Structure 1
């Protein structure tokens, strides 16, 4: 079948016309679409990307006073001792050097110190007397007169006592004779036993009185003789002062002074003093009990400055610096506590603080970090020593961190 060439020619003309029309209309259509899209979608400025929040370091910790809990015991030289007096109670605030307790050697050491001080005073006086040099004539005369008075006193008192002894001896002879006579009468039945006992008592009293007076005479002779010898020795010292005497007196004083120092040191060992100012946290040994080897006498804490001892994983330690801010949360308080990193331990160790998270390794290696709490927050946690705390430490960006 053959197509009519005229028909074919008409079809091509219409197709060509449509193509030409489409090409002419396309630019206009594009402009309309573009304007329409601009009207429907106004330009919106792209906001700046917000800065990423500062990274943080999370750790577990516990509340402690400054320098931790201090266990107070007696001196190491005093083993197995007993507390005889406790000067403080739990909760008391104490100052540095304050006496907390007395140990059982205290009173005996105090007596030794008193004796040593008296010996030193005597030695000092003797040295001063020795160093006085040549005595004045008046001092020599006074000393000689003192000796003469003592000798006269001896003669007078001895004479008086001797006369009394002679009289009492005569009375004793009479009493003995009377007693013997009454014995004979009693044997003959002339007197009663009561009469005989009366005479026996008179005889025994006379004998006792005589013995007493004789003892007094002997004591007078001995005492006054000793005083005379002492005063005579003083007279010799007044008359002459030798260098050797000065050396001896000086040595005696030095020895007495050393004895006082030793007694003071031993007495101080029996006192238990506070090494720092703080608060008594717990009493382990009461008065009358022996000091416990493991616990000591009491626990002391510097609660005027409270800290958090945090355990930071070794992988985070490079991002820590003293001075970084920290936030602390404990279960006993609703509010968060604020603190500052103060010290980072240079030694790595294993964890000692654990929680119930099984994902945290028990054998993890950590650094101890001390965080000082703000003064107002320190007062809030004074009663929560050793309580567990959740710690969040603000750290610098990774790019600015460097190895410590």
Structure 2
């Protein structure tokens, strides 16, 4: 016997079975049986049909087809032995339950089978009885089978639609949660890039000059280093205040830094790098061949940050020599190139987290561009960062 038959039936099924059994027994003792037994069968068999039908009700949800098969045999016995209304009513419930809880194939085919059965019973009654009153037999059969079957279809369709709506709502909620998490992750990544790009250069300069101030015993050189440290500290603090202000969505004062840096500030970036490196053998050169056309704000910000991070890396890692920054327009894209001499230092002049190149790649990927960083082609003594940022003319401010 399958395991599902051994489980306790649902409380509703048990209540239906007990109610039907008690109701049928009450009708029996009151003598309210609807007809006379056929084929000489004893009348007490109607009680057997009642008990079997009540037992079938216990399987209406767990094994609806099995319950319907047993119930069909029980109702046939009931009709041949006197007919109790309680048995017939419970059979209509089994037909309803078979459609509602059965497989989709059963739900599609059983109503049609009931209709065909009703037509055959009606035709057979007319042939045997040769009386228009035989139509009442077909009508009664349809009430017992067709009506509960189509009622089950309606309830099942409504239930399936409700379930589909619930699943759609859950899926929508899940997608909304995934979108929220993705948006939060993207915002965290953006904040990390902004924080790194704005502060890393200042902290690198502070680290380099503080090391120089500690290692050089000359008062004048130490005073100069402390001045650079102070300048970079003030600038870094201003950048932090700007970022915090953006996060808090506060209105900026007119004398605060611009909310979005532009390429017009590259000269200041190069000057800051000259001050930070503290080595006369370094030279910083800007070659701006963009032309007079404007750039979309996202492209200009990405280019500014790429130059800023590349100069920070040059201050920390490059060998003495020229550090060149070149900007040009090429086939609908802004090309940013930063080249510096490769050195053989045992380590960087200032510590770093190694997140700068990752941030540059993320910025370029967001714009659908390309980034390459490594030894320059044909000039392995130089390190080059080259970024191509597509320019959409429709986005130009």
Coarse TM-score class (shorter-chain normalised): under 0.3
Look at both structures and tell me which one has the larger radius of gyration over its CA atoms. 1
TM-score normalised over the length of structure 1: 0.19
Q: Per residue, is there more helix in 1 or in 2? A: 2
More contact order relative to length (CA 8 Å, sep ≥ 6) = 1
TM-score normalised over the length of structure 2: 0.20
